[in-house]
Amino acid sequence: MLPAPDISDDDLTLRLRVGDEDAFTFVFRRWQGPIFRFALHVSGNRTLAEDATQEVFMTLIRQTANFDSAKGKLGAFLFGIARNQVLKRLERERPYTALEPNWEESSDLRAESASRSGQSDDEARAAVIENVRQAILLLPPDYREVVALCDLEEMSYDEAAVALGCAAGTIASRLHRGRALLAAKLRKARMPQANKSAPAIPRSTRNLLSPMAAKFQAQKAPK
Amino acid sequence: MNCEQFEQLAPQIAHNELRDGKAMQDVTNHAAECGACEAILVEARELAGLVASLAAQDKLLEVPARMESSLRAAFVRKHTADARSRKNVFVGATFRVCVATSKSAISTAFSECRFVATKRLTAFYEKHKLWKSRLSHRLFRWAAVSLVAAAIILAVVLLPRILNRKPEVDRAAATPAQSASPAVSGTKIVQAPTAVERVPQKRLATAHKPKKNLAEPETTLTGFLALPYADDLSTIEYGAIVRLQMSRSDLAWLGLPVPISDTGEKVVADLFVNGSGTPEAIRLVR
């Protein structure tokens, strides 16, 4: 897919309103990747991410006049639509979602098998990166979407605040807690024996664990 | 700086988000003094590196190429429909403006022409009413004419059939009488006629009643005399009386016993002819 030329989003938006097909193509090429990746990182489902991305641009086609560049950038507007679409679809498909496997145990097995089979460093790193992906998917939705926007899509706090409809300070606090939870999960997955001697979760984030994470922690604690 | 404050700032340091130089120096100093906090900083940097690697790995992820064409088609359809609706809105607005601006002019013109229009409408109404009355009158006349014509046609068609119809009782009664006396019917002697045989005579007398001047007894010299070759008069159903001027030779030719002379004198006689036109009887009038 060819990259979009260097035209600002505001100009493209003006051209979109008068029905410029090329402008729509440029907007699509510029934003389809980030939108799709965001939907994929939040949902973990490629098909759902594709549907959500298509619905984002269909909404842009239908509601071009609703976009006000004074309130925020086009990207934030599109990410906001994507977030709503993904959450709506996740809520719809929740009754049919399979039970999550014990991700930490499976990641332990992956790490052991990688060390036994003598995989290269790249393969081991790819396995660790996959563990990071899975750990992000296990974060609570509020933290997950902030991590996806700010850490994976490199969006600023202000843009993420516009996209998620909250204050920039809320974004900062959610991001901090999300990173702490992510680090704790990865630490537990990477060093399964370490939780016997050292605290797996930083002191500042112990009281921020979700009930599911606390339950997870209790199951892994030695009896 | 204590360890809790260090834990708060460690992720920001790992993601290069800490812009405060003094805070950065404090964190560095604390990490050099505290081994646990240094491990936390290393872990945070490692996590940041992994997340960045994940972002870099997924950076090329895109939607299928077919989505672009379908969305472009949807965009074109939407804006074509919008342009059409905008055109309709423009036409509608223009029409409304034209109506609004011309409303006063139309009302003025209407008030000026009101008298003329009312007069013409009244005349038209009267003409319409007149036309309606003429139409109804014409329809009534045509209906009456049609009824009379239908009555005449019925009379012409049905009346002869009614008059010529033979009573079933007569036909049924006559058949056994004829079959009962076949030998008698062949003779010219008419004796003791039965009641059945008298019926045709009565019908003959009523159906072919002679005119008054023909049937008057004082003007006739004789009664009807059966001609020599005539059939039995009682068996004749239909016939007619014809008044003729005949010469004596004609009478002789018919078999009457008259003296033949050459004077050329004409005799007025009534001939009774049967249904086939054959004379059956004659009566001398003068």
Residue whose entry in the numeric block shows the structure tokens 């077919």: B66
Over residues A162-204, the pLDDT tens digits come to 888 889 899 989 998 898 888 888 877 766 544 444 444 454 4
CB burial of residue B55 (10 Å; 0-12, 13-18, 19+): middle
Which chain B residues are Cβ-neighbours of A151 within 8 angstroms?
15, 48, 51-52, 55
- How much is the pLDDT for A190? 67
| CA B130 to mean position of chain CA atoms | 29
Q: Is the pTM of this model over 0.90?
A: no
Query: CA of A200: which chain B residue's CA is closest?
Result: B40
Write down the pLDDT at residue B190.
38
- B61: contact with A, CB 8 A cutoff: yes
Q: How many angstroms separate the CA atoms of A77 and A160, rounded?
A: 10
Instruction: Render pLDDT for A63-99 as a digit per residue (tens, 0 to 9).
Output: 887 787 777 788 888 998 999 999 888 888 766 655 5
CB contact under 8 A, A36 and B53: no
* Range among A138-147, A205-214, B112-121, B207-216 with highest mean pLDDT value: A138-147
Give the ipTM. 0.71
Confidence grade of residue B172 (pLDDT, cut at 50, 70, 90):
very low
Rounded to the nearest angstrom, the minimum Cα separation between B19 and chain A is: 14
Rounded to whole angstroms, the Cα distance separating A203 from A62 reads 48
- Give the per-residue pLDDT at B212: 45
Could you report the per-residue pLDDT of A32-72, keeping only the tens digit for each? 999 999 999 999 888 999 999 999 999 998 888 778 777 77
Q: Which residues of A touch B (CB under 8 A)?
A: 1, 19, 21, 24-25, 28-29, 32-33, 36-37, 40-41, 50, 53-54, 57-58, 61-62, 125, 128-129, 132-133, 136, 147, 151-154, 176, 179-180, 182-183, 186-187, 202-204
**pLDDT over 50 (residue B193):** no
Decide: A13 and A64 in contact? Cβ < 8 Å: yes
Residues of A within 8 A of B3 (CB-CB) are 203
- Tell me which of A221 and B67 has the higher pLDDT: B67
pLDDT tens, residue by residue, B210-259: 444 444 555 677 788 888 777 777 777 778 888 888 888 888 777 777 77
Q: What is the pLDDT of residue B129?
A: 67
* Mean pLDDT (chain B, rounded): 74
User: What pLDDT score does A129 carry?
Assistant: 85
Q: Is B8 on the interface with A (CB under 8 A)?
A: yes
Give the residue-averaged pLDDT of B255-266: 72
pLDDT score recorded for residue A174: 92
Q: Cβ contacts of residue B114 below 8 Å, gap of 6+?
A: none
